[in-house]
Structure 1
């Protein structure tokens, strides 16, 4: 009964995979401050108020009505980037491993002095791998990519393609076409990059994401890929992105945020 009530009042657009950490932190802070004031009058009432507020934040995503709009308007972009929420991952590595340099050293990415491109033989092998990822083989390919033997479920909400392993979030992509491109890139890197499997899973995910930026045709319909700048809006912010989309079916294949230059 309790579970059914919680499910009824849950807002999926603001909870789970879609939970906004800035919104959550702001609301928990407000709940803590209000409960502390009540605790001056009665510790029991203050504790009860905080527990009730925390439950509301958990099932609704926020406590104060209008929080998404307030954080979108007033919370600085650098704070959003600090939390790493509601924005696509940056296309270049910031950690100790330079993804572009690693793929270039292996001859997978080629710098022709004018632009970066994929090695033609790698691209051909990747295209062949994409063609082999059928509806029947997708789950097996995805299990290998995620390194799990748990039952997988793919769900789409119109803006993202989410994957769950035994009910737990395991990853999300811009679309199922992007997912297919990644599992095929994973298979191709295994055969073309001798040390690929020696990297940790996060680094390998960044490598296949970098490869996906070179898609020329949509993995699901074969349409040409076009690149453009767009403004993407989430529950609590808006940001400019470079978007890679299929010209024919319109699915989003990749995107990365155009970061503001930090003041000198």
Structure 2
């Protein structure tokens, strides 16, 4: 999911080809390994720490629905905001810089959630900016699953599941969407 949304393993803008302080063993568990997600419900689930939840909420409030503010505040892409090109023509939210793909999200709202998440994680997770863009993208995609309000309308995100059948196979698609404005935050296609 996050790999598709945030581009290839190393974009042209990525100056960190390997994580700075995360081993290969825990690369895909950055949020757990660094205490951003902690066991809750008797160990049956994971929850955000209160500090990260507050930092994320504060960042969401500060950024609002302003894409330019989100781009400059989050440092999701290493470039000046005047160099960004945003494309929403394909039904998703894509950012490029000087013609190079910098990232893709399922919606503007998913991008805003990730931008605020990047601000929060930079303040709460030591070495955040030293991680590769791929590792940060995976962590932000995982963090987005804990979103409790839509960045644009304030509505409640919820999960939906549907089955798609074609001539050759059937697959289950699980999505996380805003109940009020229908913004897409996550889409996972299963077998």
What is the TM-score normalised by the length of structure 1? 0.56
Q: How many aligned positions are there? A: 167
Which structure has more relative contact order (CA 8 Å, sep 6+)? It is 2
Task: Tell me what 1:74 maps to.
Answer: none
Task: Tell me what 1:129 maps to.
Answer: 59
Tell me, yes or no, if the aligned pair for 2:87 and 2:94 is still in contact at 8 Å: yes
Matched, 1:215 2:147: yes
Q: Greater share of strand residues, 1 or 2? A: 2
Q: 1:148 aligns with which of 76, 79, 83?
A: 79
Q: Structure 2 stretches of 5 or more lacking a match?
A: 7-22
Tell me, yes or no, if the aligned pair for 2:71 and 2:115 is still in contact at 8 Å: no
Task: Tell me what 1:165 maps to.
Answer: 97
Q: 2:36 aligns with which of 92, 103, 108?
A: 108
Q: 1:181 aligns with which of 113, 131, 135?
A: 113
Q: Root-mean-square deviation (CA), in Å? A: 3.0
DSSP-derived class of the 1:226 partner: strand
Superposed displacement of residue 255, structure 1: 1.9
Q: Structure 1 stretches of 5 or more lacking a match?
A: 1-84, 90-94
In structure 2, what is the Cα distance between the partners aligned to 1:232 and 1:161?
A: 24
> Which of structures 1 and 2 has the bigger CA Rg?
1
Q: Greater share of helix residues, 1 or 2? A: 1
In structure 2, what is the Cα distance between the partners aligned to 1:232 and 1:159?
A: 19
In structure 2, what is the Cα distance between the partners aligned to 1:123 and 1:232?
A: 35
